[in-house]
């Protein structure tokens, strides 16, 4: 074997190793996005299971506030449907509606001292608030994972491998302007 053949084989081996490294990194990014979504999914499921308990507890005290309770349950159903489909673009608006409904529910609950004093209500309110915070943290991690994936599959030379192996961009979990703006506390109590 002459020197030029050895150099040629060395170059081919280096290119193959480089392509394999790019592919493995893209696979890792894809799975990080899936893992981040799974983390959100677990929390959404936990919250989904807690909401009926909260609504049932509230029904005992808030008989004439049915509209508020129904809005929470409708929003819960929309979040569940988006979660089941893995439809990130529908999940954002559904989450906005649910968060607004919960905000209204907790604001209306202020007018019911017996409800506010109820240990079950307090526990569920704390549990759901904790889940909301955890979901917000996981959304941030999910969007970071999606961004890393989307940037990487558009960068050269990764874009070549990404297209050849059908790696695709993922949607960010975005929220409406309504959810991003500051809450008008006075409006909640009117």
Check residue 177 and give its pLDDT: 55
Question: How many Cα atoms are found within 13 Å in the side-chain-facing hemisphere of 145?
Answer: 21
Average pLDDT, the chain: 85
Helices (H), the chain: 3-59, 66-85, 88-109, 113-117, 119-152, 158-164, 177-180, 185-188
Q: Are 135 and 47 in contact (CB under 8 A)?
A: yes
Which residues lie closer than 8 Å to 15 by C-beta, 6 or more apart?
Answer: none
For residue 150, pLDDT beyond 60: yes
Average pLDDT, integer, range 146-165? 94
Check residue 176 and give its pLDDT: 61
**Tens-digit pLDDT profile for residues 82-96:** 888 888 888 888 888
**Residue 64 pLDDT grade (very low, low, confident, very high; cuts 50, 70, 90):** low
CA gyration radius for the chain?
24
For residue 173, pLDDT beyond 90: no
For residue 98, pLDDT beyond 70: yes
Q: Which of 81-95, 135-149, 165-179 has the lowest mean pLDDT?
A: 165-179
**Residue 17 pLDDT grade (very low, low, confident, very high; cuts 50, 70, 90):** very high
Check residue 185 and give its pLDDT: 39
Of 110 and 15, the one with more pLDDT? 15
**Tens-digit pLDDT profile for residues 23-46:** 999 999 999 999 999 999 999 999
Which residues lie closer than 8 Å to 100 by C-beta, 6 or more apart?
Answer: 75, 178, 179
The span from the CA of 103 to the CA of 136, in Å, is 15
Where in the chain are the domains?
3-188
What is the reported pTM? 0.72
Check residue 159 and give its pLDDT: 94
Q: Are 121 and 53 in contact (CB under 8 A)?
A: no
The span from the CA of 19 to the CA of 164, in Å, is 11
Cα 175–Cα 181–Cα 184 angle in degrees, nearest 5:
130
For residue 143, pLDDT beyond 80: yes
Which of 63, 52, 50, 71 minimizes the C-alpha distance to 123?
Answer: 50
The CATH class, in words, for 3-188 is: mainly alpha
**Residue 178 pLDDT grade (very low, low, confident, very high; cuts 50, 70, 90):** low
For residue 190, pLDDT beyond 70: no
């Amino acid at each position: 074997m002459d020197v030029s053949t050895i150099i040629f084989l060395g170059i081919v081996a280096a290119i193959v190793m480089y392509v394999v490294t790019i592919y493995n990194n893209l696979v890792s990014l894809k799975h990080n996005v899936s893992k981040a979504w799974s983390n959100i999914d677990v929390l959404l499921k936990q919250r989904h299971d807690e909401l009926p308990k909260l609504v049932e507890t509230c029904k005992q005290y808030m008989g004439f506030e049915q509209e508020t309770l129904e809005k929470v349950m409708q929003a819960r159903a929309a979040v569940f449907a988006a979660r089941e489909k893995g439809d990130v673009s529908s999940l954002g608006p559904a989450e906005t509606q649910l968060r607004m409904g919960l905000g209204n529910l907790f604001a209306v609950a202020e007018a019911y001292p017996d409800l506010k004093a109820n240990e079950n209500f307090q526990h569920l309110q704390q549990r759901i608030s904790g889940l909301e915070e955890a979901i917000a943290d996981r959304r941030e991690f999910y969007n970071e994972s999606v961004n890393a994936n989307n940037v990487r599959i558009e960068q050269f030379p990764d874009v070549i491998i990404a297209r050849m192996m059908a790696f695709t961009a993922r949607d960010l979990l975005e929220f409406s302007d309504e959810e991003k703006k500051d809450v008008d506390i006075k409006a909640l109590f009117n």
